[in-house]
Amino acid sequence: MGDDEELLSRLSLKVTAKHCALLVIDVQNDFAATGGFFHQVGADVGHLQRDVIPSINRLLQSARRAGVTVIFIKSYYDAQYLSAPMRERNARLGMTMPRCLAGSWGAEFCGVAPVDGEAVIVKHRYSAILGSNLRDVLKVRGIQSLLLTGIATDTCVESTARDAYFLDYYVTLVADCCGAASAEDHNATLPRFNRDYGLVVNASDVMAIWEGGDTPESRAREDVSVAN
């Protein structure tokens, strides 16, 4: 990088439609629906259903109006995709219950859905970057900056953000559009993400920019670095 003018140094620059993509990660029945895998192992899916998914949908509607690229990510964890370390981890934690099997109810999106023209990327690891065609999609569309939403904040969302950051993408976590198995897991991720990778904001911060434009008022709202 050269001088500061080349940096996307404000949220309003990071979310500009021409180079920003909104990622919706793993909002699937097995992670968010009553009766899914997360619910059966004791996660608070009620919070995901009441708060996180409606927030994601509001952000999706705003992104579409603003012409921002939207990309959906889903996991398939069929047996042929599980490595030996993944199987060992599942066995060690007593979490061998199948989840997100291709073609199953558990793998279907939960409360969110792509519209025509929105890419759906399938992954088999926490990170949506590893072993998928996401990088190709981003390159074709000229994307430099990623807005991250979905489940779970501390695993698949953060892992995707880490790998993207290491590949020189700007990453911004939309805190109220993410959720985890517990509030503790979610909340522990936010300050670390802000320190090590990128901004942590709320959906309202992003939507205010998309819907109000890059004005002095919107720039004044960009002083918050960690969402509360």
pLDDT digits over 157-200, tens only? 999 999 999 999 999 999 999 999 999 999 999 999 999 999 99
Number of domains observed in the structure of the chain: 1
How much is the pLDDT for 213? Answer: 64
Backbone angles phi, psi at 123, to 5 degrees: -130, 165
How much is the pLDDT for 214? Answer: 55
CATH of the domain at 208: 3.40.50.850
pLDDT digits over 86-122, tens only? 999 999 998 888 999 999 999 999 999 999 999 999 9
Residue at 228 is within a domain: no
211 in the Ramachandran plot: left (φ > 0), alpha (ψ -120 to 50) or beta?
A: alpha
* Cα–Cα distance measured from residue 87 to residue 198, given in angstroms and rounded to the nearest whole number: 32
H or E element at residue 22: strand 20-25
Q: Which of 30, 123, 154, 176 is catalytic?
A: 123
Q: Which of 20, 156, 177, 178 is catalytic?
A: 156
Report, as an integer, the average pLDDT of 18-36: 98
123 is catalytic: yes
Residue at 212 is within a domain: yes
* Cα–Cα distance measured from residue 37 to residue 32, given in angstroms and rounded to the nearest whole number: 8
Residue 226 has pLDDT above 50, yes or no: no
Q: Which of 26, 30, 154, 205 is catalytic?
A: 26
Global confidence as pTM: 0.91
What residue numbers bound the domain in which 117 lies?
4-223
26 is catalytic: yes
How much is the pLDDT for 1? Answer: 41
Residue at 98 is within a domain: yes
Alpha helices in 67-111 (DSSP H): 84-92
Residue at 211 is within a domain: yes
116 is catalytic: no
